[in-house]
């Protein structure tokens, strides 16, 4: 298949309310089906909510998490996919038989689980374990990958996923509008969200500035451009616990161009047609062919102790 319609969604999730969040996922998936979309991608932890988990104990996290694929969420997503004819991608917390907890993102069709990715660089809660492998899978004749939020900030992860064959990388996030050492970063005042009908301009200026979209544009298109991949970026809109998120879910082509973007404050999605021609026309295709790994194999593979402790990562929130 050389053309496929994919949707990137955004909505205001409710913390810990799986039934509500799955209801929104179902409603938006049904609308995407009406527009001819074959795949819809929701944000990181879209089923469970995200930011509220920073204060949960391990037992509370285990109560929130599910077995995959045996849990009720995968069963519900399978029913949604079967009824709509659309493949659904969504995020939740996973647990295993040893009470290990992971940040997971699943791809589900009418027959059940197609793929699952465990976040490689998790934080928000000290009880979450990191995944230990990349995720590349076949989807409607396309090679696809998944990298969750912070996974995408480490450039090697995107290149590795590309080299494993992915031409589309789904990048579910909960990001932007949080403090950081970078200039211009910070929270967006929730009062602007609650007053958005009366004053949409002030909220949009915050969402599109350096606290939000302008920061994203510093790096996200380059991931697509450098690797000649389609990027499907999904991010929540509205309040996630006590933090406001700015959405701007989008689809970026292998040239690094935004071909579809959500610009609404509402629960919504955006859809684009993905075509194969761009994969080999884009500069990143030539760059990957021109690589000389003998120059940097030992440099990239040298011993290194990651600084990704939970305490360090909490400082980035």
User: What pLDDT is recorded for position 237?
Assistant: 98
Is there a domain that residue 77 lies in?
Answer: yes
Q: What is the mean pLDDT of each run of 10 residues along the chain (317 residues)?
A: 92 98 98 98 98 97 98 98 98 98 98 98 95 97 98 97 98 96 96 98 98 98 98 98 98 98 98 97 97 94 76 43
Is there a domain that residue 300 lies in?
Answer: no
User: What pLDDT is recorded for position 306?
Assistant: 83
Question: Structurally, how many domains does the chain consist of?
Answer: 1
pTM: 0.96
Nearest to 240 by CA among 40, 36, 15: 15
Angle formed at CA 44 by CA 38 and CA 46, multiple of 5 degrees: 75
Q: Which CB contacts under 8 angstroms, 24+ apart, belong to 58-65?
A: 58/99, 58/101, 58/127, 61/93, 61/101, 61/125, 61/127, 61/128, 62/95, 62/99, 62/101, 64/16, 64/93, 65/92, 65/93, 65/94, 65/95, 65/101, 65/102
| Tens digit of each residue's pLDDT (9 = 90 or more) over 16-68 | 999 999 999 999 999 999 999 999 999 999 999 999 999 999 999 999 999 99
Q: Which domain holds residue 33?
A: 3-291+307-314
Give kind and range of the element (H or E) at residue 286: helix 283-289
> 235 and 248 in contact (C-beta within 8 Å)?
yes
Gap between the terminal Cα atoms of the chain: 40
User: What pLDDT is recorded for position 308?
Assistant: 66
User: What pLDDT is recorded for position 311?
Assistant: 45
User: What is the C-alpha separation between 222 and 2, in angstroms, rounded?
Assistant: 24
| CATH code assigned at 45 | 3.60.110.10
Is there a domain that residue 297 lies in?
Answer: no
HSE of 69, CA atoms in CB hemisphere, 13 A: 15
User: What pLDDT is recorded for position 315?
Assistant: 41
**Considering Cα of 89, then 95, then 96, then 97, what sign does the dihedral take?**
negative
Is there a domain that residue 189 lies in?
Answer: yes
HSE of 204, CA atoms in CB hemisphere, 13 A: 10
Is there a domain that residue 55 lies in?
Answer: yes
Contacts of 210 (CB under 8 A, 6+ apart): 182, 183, 184, 185
Which tokens hold the place of 155?
């450039």
- Share of residues in the chain with pLDDT > 90 (%): 94
User: What pLDDT is recorded for position 304?
Assistant: 86
Is there a domain that residue 263 lies in?
Answer: yes
Is there a domain that residue 301 lies in?
Answer: no
Is there a domain that residue 218 lies in?
Answer: yes
């Amino acid at each position: 298949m050389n053309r496929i319609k994919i949707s990137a969604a955004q909505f205001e999730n409710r913390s810990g309310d799986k039934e509500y969040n799955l209801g929104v996922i179902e409603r938006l998936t049904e609308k995407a089906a009406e527009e001819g979309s074959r795949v819809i991608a929701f944000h990181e932890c879209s089923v469970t909510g995200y930011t509220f988990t920073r204060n949960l104990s391990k037992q509370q996290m285990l109560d929130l998490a599910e077995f995959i694929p045996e849990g009720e969420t995968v069963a519900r997503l399978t029913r949604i996919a079967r009824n709509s004819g659309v493949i659904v991608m969504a995020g939740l917390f996973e647990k295993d038989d040893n009470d290990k907890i992971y940040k997971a993102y699943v791809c589900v069709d009418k027959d059940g689980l197609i793929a699952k990715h465990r976040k490689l660089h998790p934080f928000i809660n000290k009880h979450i374990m990191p995944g230990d492998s990349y995720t590349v899978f076949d989807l409607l004749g396309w090679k696809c990958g998944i990298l969750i939020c912070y996974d995408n900030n480490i450039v090697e992860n995107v290149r590795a996923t590309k080299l494993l064959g992915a031409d589309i990388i789904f990048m579910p996030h909960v990001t932007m509008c949080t403090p950081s050492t970078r200039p211009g970063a910070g929270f967006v005042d929730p009062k602007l969200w609650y007053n958005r009908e009366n004053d949409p301009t002030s909220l949009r200026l915050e969402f599109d500035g350096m606290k939000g979209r302008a920061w994203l544009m510093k790096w996200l298109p380059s991931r697509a451009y450098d690797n000649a991949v389609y990027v499907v970026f999904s991010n929540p809109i509205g309040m996630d616990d006590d933090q406001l998120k700015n959405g701007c879910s989008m689809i970026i082509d292998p040239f690094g161009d935004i071909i579809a973007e959500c610009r609404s404050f509402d629960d919504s999605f955006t859809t684009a047609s993905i075509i194969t021609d761009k994969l080999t026309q884009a500069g990143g295709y030539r760059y990957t062919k021109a690589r000389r790994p003998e120059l940097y194999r030992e440099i990239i593979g040298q011993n290194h102790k990651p600084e990704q402790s939970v305490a360090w990562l909490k400082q980035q929130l």
